[in-house]
Amino acid sequence: MEKIESILDSVSHRQYPLPERPWKQYQEWHGNIFMHWKSDAASLASLLPEGMELDLIHGEAWISIVAFSVKKLHPRFLPPFLFFQIFMKST
């Protein structure tokens, strides 16, 4: 756990301070991939339900997919659950 604590000490890149309350769960993300495609805003807007607006970035619309696997998921003070470990391995 010492390595985790040292990671949390690095806060210079954060826009906001760390929460004052202790953490409630632990998880590790593995095999992360972030894919983004610039898309036509009008075409995407026509697919949205009435009353919903696109969240544009500098006036541009994007479609994003983020894929990853989660390992060692567990609440604080408890070891990883065997069920979750088996579930994560099967995906």
Q: List, run by run, the mean pLDDT of 10-residue segments along the chain (91 residues).
A: 67 84 87 95 94 93 92 86 60 47
CA distance linking residue 43 with residue 47, whole number of Å: 7
Question: Per the confidence metrics, is the pTM higher than 0.75?
Answer: no
84 and 27 Cβ atoms separated by less than 8 Å: no
Q: Which two tokens stand for residue 84?
A: 């979750």
